[in-house]
């Protein structure tokens, strides 16, 4: 009889843990949507910023988001400018992938749906860039941004990236929480 009680207790605890994890993930705000650059400032002042940019956040499953970023540099408009990231909902928050995100932080204000990206430069001046994005429902019509956006979308599902880095569901999401502002 004690073995049956242990089994029932273990199963109950497992169900409770899974239910609590699901509720915590569900409590995380929904970041999905499109965001256009509202401002890009640098301290100290420089041309290390963007003239235009778009972020698109798309849910991939119940826990993961794809964040696609397309931009145009102030100092070199024709240079490649874009990236993609994965994020994971858990513990009531959203965490950015650990890989290649050490120098950036994201902040989200659920009330205004404003997304802010803070990036640290690797220059001698220790520059910091603050990019603010506002939600938009307008389609992306700028040809350069559209081309860069589609490029980053393609790269996010590239077979070689999958072979080298593995599926995003197996990546680490520990060190870079997307901070919620004015909850």
Residue 55's CATH number: 2.40.128
Q: What domain range is 53 assigned to? A: 2-180
| Contact of 62 with 144, CB cutoff 8 Å | no
Cβ-based neighbours of 24, under 8 Å, separated by 6 or more: 90, 91, 92
What are the structure tokens assigned to 23, written together?
Answer: 């509720």
Place of tokens 């992306």: 140
pLDDT at residue number 29: 82
Return averaged pLDDT per consecutive 10 residues of the chain, 183 residues in all: 47 43 57 97 92 97 96 94 95 91 93 95 88 97 97 95 93 93 74
Q: How many domains does the chain have?
A: 1
Q: How many CB atoms lie within 10 A of CB 133?
A: 23
* b/e burial code for range 90-125 (CB count within 10 A of at least 16 → b): eeebbbbbeeebeebbbebbeeebbbbbeeebeeee
pLDDT at residue number 17: 43
Cα–Cα distance for residue pair 69/100, rounded to 1 Å:
14
Cβ-based neighbours of 100, under 8 Å, separated by 6 or more: none
Cα–Cα distance for residue pair 22/37, rounded to 1 Å:
33
| Contact of 18 with 11, CB cutoff 8 Å | no
DSSP state of 39: E
pLDDT at residue number 64: 96
Q: How many CB atoms lie within 10 A of CB 149?
A: 23
Bridge partners, residue 95, by sequence: 88, 177
pLDDT at residue number 113: 95
pLDDT at residue number 2: 52
Element (H, E) at 96: strand 93-96
pLDDT at residue number 27: 66
DSSP secondary structure of 98-128: STT-TTEEEEEETTTTEEEEEEE--STT--E
For residue 44, is the peptide bond before it cis, meaning its omega torsion is within 30 degrees of 0?
A: yes
pLDDT at residue number 94: 94
pTM of the entire predicted model: 0.82
């Amino acid at each position: 009889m004690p073995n049956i009680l242990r089994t029932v207790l273990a199963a109950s605890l497992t169900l409770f843990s899974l239910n609590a994890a699901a509720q915590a993930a569900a409590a995380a705000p929904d970041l999905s949507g499109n965001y256009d650059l509202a401002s890009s400032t640098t301290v100290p002042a420089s041309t290390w910023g963007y003239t235009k940019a778009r972020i698109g956040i798309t849910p991939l499953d119940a826990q993961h988001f794809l964040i696609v970023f397309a931009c145009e540099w102030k100092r070199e408009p024709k240079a490649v400018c874009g990236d993609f990231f994965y994020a994971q909902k858990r513990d009531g928050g959203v965490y950015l992938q650990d890989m290649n995100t050490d120098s950036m932080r994201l902040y989200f204000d659920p009330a205004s749906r404003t997304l802010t990206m803070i990036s640290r430069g690797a220059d001698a001046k220790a520059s910091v860039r603050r990019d603010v994005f506002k939600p938009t429902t307008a389609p992306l019509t700028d040809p350069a941004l559209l081309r860069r956006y589609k490029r980053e979308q393609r790269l996010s599902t590239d077979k070689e990236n999958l072979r080298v880095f593995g599926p995003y569901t197996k990546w680490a999401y520990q060190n870079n929480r997307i901070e919620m502002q004015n909850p």
